[in-house]
Amino acid sequence: MPTREVAAVSWGNYGEVIVVDSPEEAVGLSDQWAPEHLEVQTADWRYFLDHCTNYGSMFCGEETTVSYGDKTIGTNHVLPTMRAARYTGGLYVGKFVKTVTYQHATRKASLEIAKVCERACNYENMLAHGISCRVRIDKYSKQKMQKN
């Protein structure tokens, strides 16, 4: 390989070979490792496609290679490194879309939610959050009693 000297440093510092006893064990190891590029060179590559969840991009079977994904057929070359594939995927248009969320609860639901949330807030020493729950418990409990 023309880049042998450079590649040797990377292989020497980070390379390893791990032998597993089953496809299930390989999937578990792969998902823990969360590779940027996952090249699956087995006859039953579909098993890995169906079961692996933590990878940047998977290259399935001998007909594909990381080079294809990086340079021609892949979505892009911007993939999660350093095991980030455990919580994010590769760059795609959705990364540039603004996402907003909202919450709404009825008074009845708020009363029930507040009872649970107050305990969680106080347990975590988030006292102001706990107080905001307590205010709703007191208010909505009184309103419930007045209706009865």
- Per annotation, catalytic residue among 5, 16, 25, 36: 36
Q: How far is CA 105 from CA 88, 112, 120, 147, in A?
A: 30, 10, 18, 19
Say whether 37 is catalytic: yes
Distance of alpha carbon 125 from alpha carbon 14, whole angstroms: 42
Q: For 20, what's the count of Cα atoms within 13 Å in the CB-facing half-sphere?
A: 10
Longest Cα–Cα distance of the chain, Å, equals: 83
- Per annotation, catalytic residue among 24, 37, 51, 124: 37
Look at the chain and count its residues.
148
Annotated catalytic sites, by residue? 36-37
